[in-house]
Amino acid sequence: MAVPDGTPLKSQVSQTRQTITRPAHYAVCGELMTADQLNNLNMWMAIRAIASVVQIAALAALTIFGYRLYAHSRRTIDALERRHIEPLTRRVNDVLDTVSTEVARIRHAGDRVQQTVQGINGGLSHAASVVTATVMPGWVVTKGVLAAASAFRAAGKSARLKRPAPKDRDLDRFVNEGGNDA
């Protein structure tokens, strides 16, 4: 049998075998490489692929381990919160409510005391003004009568009593009013 270019098929097959059996040179990145070098390259690429798979598996295992650790710590924190923090929070809130109630009660009592004191002050002020209004005229009249009687009695004794000299009275008055004798 012949191929369209006219060469027999048998000769073409023998040429192909000769091409395969002789050492082949392959061009990689512009350089020629032998089959041994390619086998070596293939082995290193396989090692790198296996290392990448191992790295991915390790990262996946670390991720799973980290998630489990997080979930465990979250459960532990929740349990501690339920056992210790929530009861303590409830107790503190109860104490704060009690304190708030007592403060409101004391504030109300203080307001009542203030109103009572204001009422007493108003009553005392009114009583003082009533007493002053009723007693003052009588007291003034009594004081005037006593002063007049004293003046009439002293009129006869004035010759007998020696009054202090005006200079001594002025000095006492000056010192009593905050003056300085120096």
User: Which residue in 32, 50, 29, 33 sits closest to 41, CA to CA?
Assistant: 33
Q: What is the pLDDT of residue 102?
A: 93
Answer yes or no: is 2 within a domain: no
Cα 126 to its chain centre, rounded Å, is 53
Answer yes or no: is 58 within a domain: yes
Answer yes or no: is 76 within a domain: yes
What domain count does the chain have?
1
Cβ–Cβ under 8 Å, residues 143 and 150: no
Q: Which long-range contacts (CB under 8 A, 24 or more apart) does 51-54 make?
A: none
pTM: 0.37
Query: pLDDT for 140-152, tens place per residue?
Result: 888 888 888 888 7
Question: Does the structure show a pLDDT above 70 at 136?
Answer: yes
Domain that holds residue 125: 9-176
SS3 category, 31: strand
Answer yes or no: is 155 within a domain: yes
Answer yes or no: is 170 within a domain: yes
Q: What percent of the chain has pLDDT over 70?
A: 68
Helix, strand, coil tally for the chain in percent (to 5): 80, 5, 15
